[in-house]
């Protein structure tokens, strides 16, 4: 029986390029080789797509793209091709694939762009579809959908590019409405990149300018004092939530440095919370997953205030698969090993392809 050919796509034109390389390394190393044939497709920071046939250990460091055996590879949107066009010596050959695992974080990978391309090509892929990916990536859309579905989030405001010519006035207004401190975030960014805490009008303006360097839309949220909690959600028609994990950040908040560089934040699985809070958070995670149309997998992040109030922070449709990432740790706590989890993600992507296309 022939093996299933899976293409793992990594890298990307994104501020989270380097995180993707580490996640992809762990995914590739744990794909069961008795069942799958793995094809590695890397996207450089400049947007070049390359088939990489080399050593997996060279991916995380970025050395992979300097391998002389890399071949230009383009994902064809034509369903007849069913895979990649390999460009070599002025000629193109087709390399078909059965399923794609887009281990891409942030813009141009987790925001619906590659999902739309895979939909055109009618190739099954792991994770949420175009609309859910775009809605969860854009914090304005996430807040809007969750507010409509009466799922509690932090109070929030948006600043668009049209507001830049009256930034002083807008910041003063938001400060009065939300109070200080507040968190300032690019609307479309992940891994806590571009996020800053503002404590007065001046630091708010500075934080807004930093956020605008990552996106053309900025979200300001009220500060929530409480435990930082995360839940892994898995599935299609009947999704289920893991037990709740708790993060004790080593920094002021769980920023990029705390997540991926320092590695000294503490993780508690299960979280140190009451059974009632655990139940509410898991139920809310699944409700939000369904409301936003997620499928396959997502990580749902929460705050739990001292008075027991549950606040949904955000949904990540392609959570990290690094050695310290919470999603695989939470699933492992349920008894799903890394290899088993990846196998099931690929399986459900293929099983549900007929409904998608």
Q: Over pLDDT 90: what percentage of the chain?
A: 87
Quote the pLDDT of residue 114. 97
Quote the pLDDT of residue 92. 92
pLDDT digits (tens, 9 = 90+) for 179-220: 999 999 999 876 578 899 999 999 999 999 999 998 899 999
Quote the pLDDT of residue 332. 96
Backbone dihedral angles phi then psi of residue 172, each to the nearest 5 degrees: -65, -40
Residue 286 neighbours by CB distance under 10 Å = 18
What is the rounded distance in angstroms from the CA atom of residue 357 to the CA atom of residue 343?
22
Tokens coding 108? 């141009």
Parts of the chain with a pLDDT under 70: 190-191, 251-264
Query: For 304-310, which contacts have Cβ atoms below 8 Å and span 24 or more sequence positions?
Result: 304/226, 304/227, 304/229, 304/273, 304/277, 305/224, 305/225, 305/226, 306/225, 306/226, 308/274, 308/276, 308/277, 309/152, 309/226, 310/152, 310/277, 310/280, 310/281, 310/284
Quote the pLDDT of residue 220. 97
* Predicted model pTM: 0.92
What is the rounded distance in angstroms from the CA atom of residue 224 to the CA atom of residue 155?
9
What is the rounded distance in angstroms from the CA atom of residue 164 to the CA atom of residue 278?
41
pLDDT digits (tens, 9 = 90+) for 97-106: 999 999 999 9
Q: Over pLDDT 70: what percentage of the chain?
A: 96
Report the DSSP pairing between strands 245-248 and 156-160: unpaired
Residue 175 neighbours by CB distance under 10 Å = 19
Quote the pLDDT of residue 242. 98
Tokens coding 338? 């890394």
Quote the pLDDT of residue 90. 85
Quote the pLDDT of residue 42. 98
């Amino acid at each position: 029986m022939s093996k299933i050919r899976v293409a793992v796509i990594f890298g990307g034109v994104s501020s989270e390029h380097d995180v993707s390389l580490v996640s992809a390394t762990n995914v590739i190393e744990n794909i069961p080789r008795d069942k799958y044939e793995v094809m590695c497709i890397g996207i450089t920071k400049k947007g070049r797509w390359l088939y990489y046939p080399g050593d997996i250990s060279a991916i995380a460091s970025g050395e992979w793209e300097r391998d002389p055996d890399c071949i230009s590879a383009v994902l064809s949107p034509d369903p007849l091709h069913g895979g990649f066009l390999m460009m070599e010596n002025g000629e193109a050959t087709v390399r078909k694939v059965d399923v794609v695992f887009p281990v891409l974080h942030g813009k141009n990978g987790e925001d619906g762009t590659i999902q739309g391309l895979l939909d055109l090509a009618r190739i099954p892929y792991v994770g949420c579809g175009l609309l859910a990916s775009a809605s969860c990536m854009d914090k304005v859309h996430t807040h809007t959908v969750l507010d409509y579905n009466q799922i509690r989030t932090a109070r929030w405001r948006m600043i668009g590019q049209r507001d830049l010519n009256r930034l002083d006035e807008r910041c003063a207004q938001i400060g009065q409405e939300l109070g200080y401190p507040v968190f300032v975030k690019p609307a479309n960014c992940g891994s806590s990149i571009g996020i800053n805490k503002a404590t007065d009008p001046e630091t708010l303006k500075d934080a807004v300018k930093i956020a605008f360097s990552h996106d053309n839309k900025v979200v300001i949220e009220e500060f929530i004092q409480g435990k930082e909690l995360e839940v892994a959600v898995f599935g299609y028609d009947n999704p289920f939530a893991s037990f709740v994990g708790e993060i004790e950040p080593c920094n002021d908040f769980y920023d990029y440095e705390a997540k991926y560089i320092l590695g000294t934040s503490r993780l508690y699985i299960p979280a140190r919370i009451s059974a009632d809070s655990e139940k509410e958070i898991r139920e809310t995670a699944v409700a939000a997953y369904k409301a936003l149309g997620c499928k396959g997998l997502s990580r749902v992040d929460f705050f739990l205030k001292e008075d027991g109030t549950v606040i949904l922070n955000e949904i990540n449709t392609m959570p990290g698969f690094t050695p310290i990432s919470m999603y695989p740790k939470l699933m492992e706590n349920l008894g799903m090993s890394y290899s088993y989890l990846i196998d099931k993600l690929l399986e459900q992507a293929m099983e549900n392809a007929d409904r998608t296309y």
